A and B are shown apart, each in its own frame.
Chain A
Amino acid sequence: MSFEGHLFLALLEGTVTGFVLALTALGLSLVFGVMRIVNVAHGEFFMLGAVIAWYFSTLPGGFLPALVAAPLLVGAAAFLADRLVLRRLEYKPESTIVATIGLLYIIQQLVLTVYGPYARPVAAPVYFRLDFPWFGYSGYKLVVAGVSAALLGATWLVMSRTTLGLYMRATQQDREMAQAFGVSVDRVYALVFALGAGLAAMAGALVVPIQQAHYLMGLDALLMSFIVVILGGLGSLGGTVAAAFLIGVSDGLVSVFFSPTLAKIVATLLVALVLVLRTGGLFGEEGT
């Protein structure tokens, strides 16, 4: 295959990765932004989505219902986790990190127990090929990109046009003030945590036909989401999407021409440095 072919493939793969990554990272970013906590278990919600999607694909109804069920089920689980765990810890940053590490292993190992250590493929619900001069390309990947784009748009609408979105933005800017104006911050937190997890689960379900479902797939999703969120600025929808594309495409380019591992090393180091050099820290107002 020619250089242009490789380049085009890298860009195409990068775009698809970028969309999925944007969807996954957006959930983390919302939780970061509104609740001001770091959810280390976010990748596991992604993995749960994928595994649930696999399960549905074995049922008579097939894969498609999973796109509704996975986010709902995972969102409900996250809602519970917020109520039972995070709220009791009063969302203290370090405690919630330890707790979500706990959740990470609990979810991951429960999936290992129930689902097993296998990487299971799922047939794409739609199958067609796009023929380019250099190679044929799976049409489903483009469908994934399209659905992701639609969901990103929908989230933007929720954030900017609905009362829930208004409450979320108010809480993000000033928790006490929001409370004083009658916003039930507790409820907003639980909903945001559920919404964040639901977005990750949706992304997980969407990629199963491309990636296969495996109980360890969450860690990579988590780290990539971290990178995107830190780069894009927390709670910023536009920033998250832009950063996801930057990471997706550059990851695609470096992976095609060098090695995927090297791509991850470079991205991780760069973003860690960004985080260190950004004054004010992760939440903009820490410091001192």
Chain B
Amino acid sequence: MRRPGARAVWALHLAVILLLLGLQVVVPPFHQIMLARIMVLAVYAIGYNVLLGYAGLMSLGHAMLFASGMYATGLTILYFGVGAGAAFGLGVLASAVMATALGLVTLRASRVSFLIVTMMFSQAFYLATLYFNEITMGDQGFIISGQLAPLRAGGREFAFSDPAVKYNLALVVFALCLMLSVWLTRSPIGRVLVGVRENEERTRLLGYNPLSYKLLALIASGTIAGASGSLYTLMFSYVGSSFASILYSIYPLLWTLLGGTGTTLGPLLGTALMTYVVDIASGLTSSYLLLVGATLLILIMWFPAGVMGGIRTRWARWLP
């Protein structure tokens, strides 16, 4: 009763999904691919936001979870010719396992240590992708388009090279993860996570074990990140070490901060803005990462709530 506008919340998110569904008909091909890429990366940001926005834990090691999804999908296709669906499932599973292991080890650390420790584990993972370059092809990476069979459904074939297939696949996964995140944040678990974020000691004395809830958040976060990585591999057919590098841990942090930490639509907005900005900038200069740094600095100094956070405080208190 007091939680405002459950209907309005679901309707808003549904409208965003329908808008994205419609956009593919009107936008030119270049932007269709851009939007597909934004949606799949926004899934990554949604996953990151589950941990940062709701459990209040800042990780610098999500590249490891994103890349686990990528490598599990890419390698099984490359070496064993696994089908796309199974490879996706394996990617999600691999990142879930990785997130569980990472959580069991790192959540014992306090918040600042958690940042550093996740970064170090992720860096070790990155170095491992370089070290085992006979399997992973290291920095150079590998392409799976030759080994990847098209999806078959209802007697029709859907090739991953087809932009429309890319777009709608990304949309389906994005819509699922967005709705999952909305529902999670409105669930009893989501309320406990916010409690842990706001006042861990109090939450403990309200009868909740903070550690197990943080672990749950990290697993959910990592699994969603892995789904994004896995789908990215299927859509763009390429896997390389750079996706495991620290930059790919910083990107979701940046997207989430820009869009608005702890808002459900923030990750999409932040990813979209930043992806377009970086795309334009990288056409102009090789130093486009300067924008990444400058945006981070400006956000943390003047706009820590991000775009959606700002909108929420100013106009729409009911936004989740």
Q: Which residues on A are within 8 Å of B, measured CB to CB? A: 38, 85, 88-89, 93-95, 97-99, 101-110, 112-113, 117, 219, 223, 226-227, 230, 259, 261-262, 264-265, 268-269, 271-273, 275-277, 280-283, 286-288
- In whole angstroms, how far apart are the Cα atoms of A223 and B58 in the complex? 19
* Residues of the A chain whose Cβ atoms lie less than 8 Å from the Cβ of B115: 38, 94, 97
- In whole angstroms, how far apart are the Cα atoms of A214 and B125 in the complex? 24
Are the CB atoms of A102 and B293 closer together than 8 Å? yes
Are the CB atoms of A276 and B289 closer together than 8 Å? no
- In whole angstroms, how far apart are the Cα atoms of A105 and B253 in the complex? 14
A88-B110 contact, Cβ under 8 Å, with A226-B120, A268-B120? no
Are the CB atoms of A112 and B120 closer together than 8 Å? no
Nearest CB in chain B: distance from A156 CB, A: 26
Are the CB atoms of A99 and B297 closer together than 8 Å? yes
- In whole angstroms, how far apart are the Cα atoms of A261 and B132 in the complex? 10
* Residues of the B chain whose Cβ atoms lie less than 8 Å from the Cβ of A227: 120
- In whole angstroms, how far apart are the Cα atoms of A94 and B117 in the complex? 14
Tell which of B108, B109, B130, B288 has the most Cβ of chain A within 10 Å. Answer: B109
Are the CB atoms of B124 and A265 closer together than 8 Å? yes
Are the CB atoms of B250 and A101 closer together than 8 Å? yes
Are the CB atoms of B117 and A272 closer together than 8 Å? yes
Q: Determine whether B112 belongs to the interface, using a CB cutoff of 8 Å to chain A.
A: yes
B116, B124, B299: the one within 8 Å of A38 (CB): B116
Are the CB atoms of A268 and B123 closer together than 8 Å? yes
- In whole angstroms, how far apart are the Cα atoms of A4 and B123 in the complex? 33
Nearest CB in chain B: distance from A111 CB, A: 9
Are the CB atoms of B304 and A105 closer together than 8 Å? no
A286-B111 contact, Cβ under 8 Å, with A94-B58, A103-B293, A265-B127? yes
Identity of the chain A residue whose Cβ is nearest the Cβ of B58 in the assembled complex: A94
A106-B124 contact, Cβ under 8 Å, with A93-B111, A273-B105? no
- In whole angstroms, how far apart are the Cα atoms of A104 and B115 in the complex? 16
* Residues of the B chain whose Cβ atoms lie less than 8 Å from the Cβ of A281: 109-110, 112-113
Instruction: Report how many A-B pairs have Cβ atoms within 8 Å.
Output: 136
Q: Determine whether B100 belongs to the interface, using a CB cutoff of 8 Å to chain A.
A: no
Q: List 26 A-B contacts (CB under 8 A).
A: A93-B111, A94-B111, A95-B304, A97-B112, A98-B58, A98-B253, A98-B299, A99-B300, A101-B250, A101-B296, A103-B297, A105-B296, A106-B293, A106-B294, A108-B289, A109-B287, A109-B290, A110-B290, A112-B286, A113-B290, A265-B124, A276-B109, A280-B110, A281-B112, A283-B112, A286-B112
Nearest CB in chain B: distance from A228 CB, A: 13
* Residues of the B chain whose Cβ atoms lie less than 8 Å from the Cβ of A288: 110, 200-201
* Residues of the A chain whose Cβ atoms lie less than 8 Å from the Cβ of B289: 105, 108-109
Are the CB atoms of A110 and B287 closer together than 8 Å? yes
* Residues of the A chain whose Cβ atoms lie less than 8 Å from the Cβ of B288: 109
Identity of the chain B residue whose Cβ is nearest the Cβ of A286 in the assembled complex: B110
Are the CB atoms of A275 and B117 closer together than 8 Å? yes
* Residues of the A chain whose Cβ atoms lie less than 8 Å from the Cβ of B286: 112, 117
Are the CB atoms of B112 and A38 closer together than 8 Å? yes
* Residues of the B chain whose Cβ atoms lie less than 8 Å from the Cβ of A110: 287, 290
Identity of the chain A residue whose Cβ is nearest the Cβ of B253 in the assembled complex: A98
Q: Determine whether B208 belongs to the interface, using a CB cutoff of 8 Å to chain A.
A: no
Query: 1/0 per residue B268-297: CB within 8 Å of A?
Result: 000000000000000001111110111111
Q: Determine whether B128 belongs to the interface, using a CB cutoff of 8 Å to chain A.
A: yes
Nearest CB in chain A: distance from B252 CB, A: 13
The 8 A-B pairs with the shortest beta carbon distances in the complex, nearest first, are A105-B293, A102-B297, A102-B296, A281-B110, A109-B290, A106-B293, A272-B120, A286-B110
